[in-house]
Each structure stands twice: as structure tokens, then as C-alpha cells.
């Protein structure tokens, strides 16, 4: 008896799986509306979520043609492109049929979770409005659009959502449901994004802010403005910079691990980080290659050491601000680092004024180190 029940259960599972597979095939085998056939025929097709079906093709010029279809009665349907798998900071193509029966498709910049921060006709997606079409046929909505990328899409974070209310004056209402996944545009495979590594992102930011935003600026301030406290300034300067380098290195390791998990396409932040880290390595090497005070090469070493350090601190500050922005950090990060940066700048201005006042009185140059 038990074997019969198990066999019946297995048969039911098989039938269910076969039915699901057939439904998926039918969703891709269905013909596109005639108005789309001319520009959007021959696309690869993949069911991705619920009754959402993604048709796509990417040509040699990195132009991506997309037709997103779904069951539809009213409201809006959207497909977002994200750099890190998060909604905030992504850009989305959203389509709907208005109350007067007219089709609408617009790009939205998703700058926050409130309706006021979902901004129409903004975003990083490059497109031509005349290439966009919305069609409703047989209770299905079809969003057809073309996007131009500067690189070939492979693994891309995708966000899909729908809402039941028709947008009024291009204001999107809160979504009824949403999902995010990584889609491989070369193989057509979709994989559900795992839990976003918030802890790793927080560690990457906190370590680098503390190293490059606190310790190393203090170390540089000691070297320029407190040389009269000799040799204490030197040991404090070297100690703070070395500890800052170690903590910054930990931040870099966290950043590499974060990039391997989310594959965020943020070339400016990553490029500046590599440049600053390279300068910090040169500064560490400079410590071991420091000529004697009476060496004829010492002035060249001083010039190199001073300006390489200043460049590193300047671009580190720029990259911290950029990282806070692209990472979607909350206001506490912005206020905290802004206050820290303001204190450092005020201190530098005051100390620089005192230093120049002292120099003008005794007309002596600062000692080399």
C-alpha cells in the first residue's frame, strides 16, 4: 500500500513539473504582438519570475533589446538595472497604460524608497525614447525598449516589480511585489541574489573612513605642524601612518571580498581606491628608503614624500565621499564624515595660519625629516 502511495505521489510530482515546464515553454513560444515583430524578433527568451518573461538580445555594439511581458490588468510593471542588487541607486524602465488608455514607458532613477525619491526621466540607462513601446494584448503587457551600454553585459543585477495603481503625473505608487536576481545575458540563466552582505559593506566603509579619514590626516598634521616636539612628532607620525595603512589594507581586503560577492560596476570608486592604495604603498616604501638628513637627495625625497601624501589624502577624501554616495549610506554616515572632515579642515587652516605667522617672525625654514 505504501509503495502505491509513493508511486502515485511521484507521478503527481512528475505531472506538476511537466505542466510547469510546458507552461514556461508556452510563455516563450507565444508570438509577440505584430507591432513589436519588426524590431524585436529573434530574441532569446527566459521566464524569470512569476509570470514575467524576459526576451532579450545584445548586439556587438552593446545595444540591449528587451521585451518584458507579464499578465496585466492595471497598474505598472518595471525592470530595474542595479549595480549592487539594491533598489536604491538603480535605474528602471517602467511601463503602464494610463487612465485614458494611452501607453507610457519612462525611465526612473530610484534614489530612495519614498515616492518623492523615485524620479522620472533620470537614471544611468542610456536610451532613445523613440525606441520604447508598450503594448497590451490578450491580458498581457509588453514593455519593449533598447538600451546602450559602454560594456558588454554579463552578470547583471536585475530588479523586477509591479504595482496595482496607475501612476498619476509620472508618480509611481508603492509596488505590490518585487524581486531581485542576477541574470547572465550570455547564458540566459537567472540566479536569486543571496542576502546582501551589509556587514561586509559596513566593514569596508568603516575601516577605510577610520584609516584614511581619521588616522592618516592626524598623522600628516603632526608631521607638518608639531615638529618642534622633536622627536615625539616623528614617532607619532610614523606610528599613526603605519596603523592607518594596516587598517586601510583591511578595508581594501573587505572591498575586494565585497566586489567578488556583488560584482558592483563602480569603476570610479574602485579606480580611485586602487590609486590611493598604490600611493600608500609608495609612502611605506619611502620610509625604508629615506636618505640621511645631510644627503643631497633628501630634498627630492621630501618633495616626493610630501606631495604623494597630500595626493593620497585628497583622493582618499574624494573616494570616501563617493563611496558613501554609491553605497547608499544613510544620513548618519554623511553627517559623521562631514563633521569629521570639517573639524580636520578647520584645524589645518588654524594651524597653517599659526605656522606661517611663526615663520614670518623668525624667517626660518622647517626641519627636514
Of 70, 199, 88, 192, the closest CA to residue 142 belongs to 70
Question: In terms of Cα–Cα distance, which of 179, 10, 198, 201 is closest to 87?
Answer: 179
Q: What CA–CA distances, in Å, run from 11 to 18, 78, 259?
A: 10, 38, 44
**Cα-based distances in Å from 325 to 146, 200, 259, 268, 330:** 28, 17, 16, 12, 9
Calpha distance 149→127 (Å, rounded): 9
C-alpha–C-alpha distance, residues 327 and 330, integer Å: 9
**Does 306 carry a binding-site annotation?**
no
Query: Following DSSP, what letter does each residue of 39-66 receive, concatenated?
Result: HHTT-EEEEEETTEEEEEEE-TT-EEEE
Coarse DSSP helix, strand, coil percentages of the chain, rounded to the nearest 5 percent: 50, 25, 25
Structure letter (DSSP) for residue 355: H
Q: Does the annotation place 325 within a ligand binding site?
A: no
- Whether the CB-CB separation of 326 and 83 falls below 8 Å is answered with yes
Q: Judge whether 175 is annotated as a binding position.
A: no
- The residue behind cell 509570470 is 51
User: Is residue 247 helix, strand or coil?
Assistant: helix
Residue 183 is classified by DSSP as E
Phi, psi of 190, deg, nearest 5: -110, 135
- Is residue 157 part of an annotated ligand binding site? no
Q: How many CB atoms lie within 10 A of CB 320?
A: 23
| Residues contributing to the annotated binding site for heme b | 204, 237, 269, 305
* Residue list for the binding site: 204, 237, 269, 305
Amino acid at each position: 500500500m505504501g509503495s502505491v502511495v509513493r508511486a502515485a505521489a511521484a507521478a503527481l510530482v512528475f505531472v506538476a513539473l511537466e505542466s510547469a515546464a510546458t507552461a514556461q515553454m508556452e510563455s516563450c513560444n507565444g508570438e509577440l504582438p505584430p507591432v513589436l515583430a519588426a524590431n524585436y524578433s529573434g530574441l532569446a527568451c527566459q521566464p524569470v519570475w512569476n509570470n514575467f518573461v524576459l526576451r532579450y538580445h545584445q548586439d556587438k555594439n552593446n545595444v540591449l533589446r528587451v521585451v518584458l511581458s507579464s499578465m496585466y490588468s492595471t497598474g505598472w510593471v518595471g525592470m530595474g538595472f542595479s549595480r549592487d542588487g539594491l533598489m536604491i541607486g538603480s535605474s528602471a524602465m517602467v511601463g503602464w497604460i494610463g487612465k485614458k488608455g494611452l501607453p507610457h514607458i519612462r525611465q526612473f532613477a530610484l534614489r530612495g524608497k519614498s515616492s518623492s525619491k523615485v524620479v522620472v526621466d533620470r537614471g544611468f540607462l542610456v536610451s532613445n525614447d523613440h525606441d520604447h513601446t508598450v503594448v497590451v494584448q490578450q491580458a498581457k503587457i509588453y514593455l519593449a525598449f533598447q538600451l546602450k551600454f559602454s560594456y558588454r553585459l554579463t552578470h547583471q543585477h536585475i530588479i523586477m516589480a509591479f504595482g496595482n495603481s496607475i501612476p498619476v503625473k509620472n508618480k509611481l505608487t508603492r509596488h505590490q511585489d518585487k524581486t531581485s536576481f542576477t541574470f547572465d545575458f550570455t547564458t540566459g540563466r537567472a540566479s536569486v541574489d543571496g542576502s546582501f552582505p551589509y556587514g561586509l559593506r559596513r566593514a569596508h566603509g568603516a575601516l577605510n573612513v577610520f584609516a584614511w579619514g581619521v588616522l592618516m590626516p592626524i598623522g600628516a598634521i603632526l608631521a607638518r605642524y608639531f615638529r618642534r616636539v622633536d622627536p615625539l612628532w616623528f614617532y607619532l607620525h610614523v606610528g599613526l601612518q603605519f596603523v592607518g595603512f594596516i587598517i586601510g589594507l583591511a578595508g581594501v581586503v573587505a572591498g575586494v571580498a565585497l566586489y567578488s560577492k556583488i560584482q558592483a560596476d563602480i569603476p570610479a570608486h574602485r579606480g580611485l581606491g586602487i590609486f590611493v592604495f598604490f600611493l600608500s604603498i609608495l609612502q611605506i616604501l619611502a620610509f625604508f628608503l629615506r636618505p640621511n638628513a645631510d644627503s643631497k637627495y633628501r630634498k627630492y625625497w621630501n618633495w616626493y614624500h610630501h606631495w604623494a601624501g597630500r595626493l593620497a589624502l585628497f583622493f582618499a577624501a574624494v573616494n570616501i565621499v563617493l563611496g558613501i554616495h554609491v553605497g547608499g549610506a544613510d544620513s548618519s554616515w554623511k553627517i559623521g564624515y562631514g563633521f569629521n572632515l570639517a573639524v580636520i579642515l578647520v584645524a589645518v587652516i588654524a594651524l597653517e595660519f599659526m605656522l606661517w605667522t611663526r615663520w614670518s617672525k623668525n624667517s626660518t625654514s622647517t626641519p627636514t625629516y
